[in-house]
Amino acid sequence: MTTTALRGGLVITAAEETYADVLVEDGTIAALAAPDSACARGWSCDRTIDATGKYVIPGGVDAHTHLDFPFGGTASSDTFETGTRAAAWGGTTTIVDFAVQPRGGALRAGLDAWHAKAEGVCAVDYAFHMILSDVNDSSLKELDLLVAEGVTSFKLFMAYPGVFYSDDGQILRAMQRAAGNGGLVMMHAENGIAIDVLVQQALDAGRTDPRYHGEVRKALLEAEATHRAIQLARVAGSPLYVVHVSAEEAVAELARARDAGLPVFGETCPQYLFLSVDKLAEPGFEGAKYVCSTPLRPREHQAALWRGLRTDDLQVVSTDHCPFCFAGQKELGRGDFSKIPNGLPGVEHRMDLLHQAVVEGRIGRRRWIEIACAAPARMFGLAPRKGTIAPGADADIVVYDPHARQTLSAATHHMNVDHSVYEGKEITGRVETVLSRGEVVIDGREFTGRAGHGRYVPRSTCQYLT
């Protein structure tokens, strides 16, 4: 048995902040004790990590990533190896990625393919959601089997007609099935049919630049789809989790549903909290770097997102990490913004950007841990192993220096992508040490982990409902 003691730090969970020593035994948190008492109390400490003056926080849980994801005529540029290593650098020790049902094929085939991509190469632990791209009698039956084996959430798309799109009838049937088997429906809520009309009209009028991506994907069409998804979930009697919420009007729909007591949840992402639609107008086609869906919004929307995070109308911040290089990938859409692969890199920066929000007084420290670690773990059935620091939990722990300064840049990040959407952004705070199930995977400026350390984690059903 190897033991590690993290000594003298401020241990922050979603529930409390307390100066304590944390003892790790063989990959699991064994105990918390009064500061600097650990070794004195006779704990055998093979290794001690001095966390004096630092925060000791749970490893981040990023519930929305797309590694090695075929999309937009190409594939996202981070593999499971590079993406999970970048996650570790940023203090994220669990990711939940999206396996994809091949159109016309079985869920099982998609899940097997994603297991094959991830097996033996991940630096941190991983789990899977399933993207339903073809809701039919047989895929609905398969949902029950997936829930039973730990894939307990499914993403459906009201956007991307001809790719992942499901119509309202298919969505209703999937929700009914989820109501019966305990699965959680995750919704990409944008009215893709209406958006495609606006896309064609824009292209016909010669509006081909990246900035028109932001104009055609209207906030009202996000709000409309969010409203429709909520009503469909109500009819089906199922819970609903709306992914990558960016529009103020969509937050209002979620807030209204939650005020009415409905089991409706929402996620937003750092890009919507920190970036705005004017990025899409950057000259020289640079705006393409900021093309994602839902799109970046005018800055005014950000206040509603921050408020939603404070009032718990939004529960989770995940990254929707879906990187495409500018060279050769984003460039596929030169002359036609609708051909720019949708997605932004970010898995490395979520914990830091949200800490910056703590520094700026937008959220408190415990709320930081709640939205980045504890809530995603509970939402997706990973608690109590993930998302907290408590005896019995996996020793996924970050020693975080709240005073260190850093500047985000493509020159220094570890994601496999040739640009940073946060280039030049200054952050107060920095990950210092990262433990994944007790193993030190980041030690200061060094990656000490290994491809294949990360394990697949089967999940229980949503723990927000019990």
Q: Which residues bind ligand URP (CB under 6 A)?
A: 66, 188, 244, 292-293, 320, 322, 342-343
User: Which of Zn ion, ligand URP, none binds 297 (CB below 5-8 Å, type-dependent)?
Assistant: none
User: Which of ligand URP, Zn ion, none binds 292 (CB below 5-8 Å, type-dependent)?
Assistant: ligand URP
To the nearest whole angstrom, how small is the minimum distance from the Cβ of residue 270 to ligand URP? 13
User: Which of Zn ion, ligand URP, none binds 343 (CB below 5-8 Å, type-dependent)?
Assistant: ligand URP
217 binds Zn ion (CB under 5 A): no
To the nearest whole angstrom, how small is the minimum distance from the Cβ of residue 366 to ligand URP? 28
405 binds Zn ion (CB under 5 A): no
The token pair that represents 464 in the structure block: 């927000």
Distance, in Å, from the CA atom of 459 to the CA atom of 5, rounded to the nearest integer, reads 28
* Residue 114: φ, ψ to 5°: -75, -35
**Cβ–Cβ < 8 Å for 360, 354:** no
DSSP character string of 374-430: IHHHHHTT-TTTSSS-STTSB--EEEEEEEEEEE--TTT--SSSS--TTTT-EEEEE
Task: Name residues contacting Zn ion, limited to 364-403 (CB under 5 A).
Answer: 401, 403
To the nearest whole angstrom, how small is the minimum distance from the Cβ of residue 412 to ligand URP? 24
To the nearest whole angstrom, how small is the minimum distance from the Cβ of residue 334 to ligand URP? 18
CA torsion sign for 316, 423, 418, 331 is positive
Which residue, 23 or 225, is less far from Zn ion as judged by CB? 225
User: Which of Zn ion, ligand URP, none binds 342 (CB below 5-8 Å, type-dependent)?
Assistant: ligand URP
Residues in CB range of 277: below 8 A, 6 or more apart: 211, 214, 295, 296, 297, 298
User: What is the number of residues in the chain?
Assistant: 466
Residue in 64, 241, 97 with CA at minimum distance from that of residue 156: 241
User: Which of Zn ion, ligand URP, none binds 330 (CB below 5-8 Å, type-dependent)?
Assistant: none
Pairing of strands 439-443, 426-436: antiparallel
User: Which of ligand URP, Zn ion, none binds 403 (CB below 5-8 Å, type-dependent)?
Assistant: Zn ion
Task: Identify the residue among 85, 129, 177, 188 touching Zn ion (CB under 5 A).
Answer: 188
Contact range with Zn ion by CB under 5 A, out of 120-128, 179-187, 262-270, 318-326: 318-326
For residue 74, the cross-strand partners are 71
Distance, in Å, from the CA atom of 127 to the CA atom of 96, rounded to the nearest integer, reads 5
Which residue, 292 or 363, is less far from ligand URP as judged by CB? 292
Residue closest to ligand URP (Cβ): 342
To the nearest whole angstrom, how small is the minimum distance from the Cβ of residue 26 to Zn ion? 30
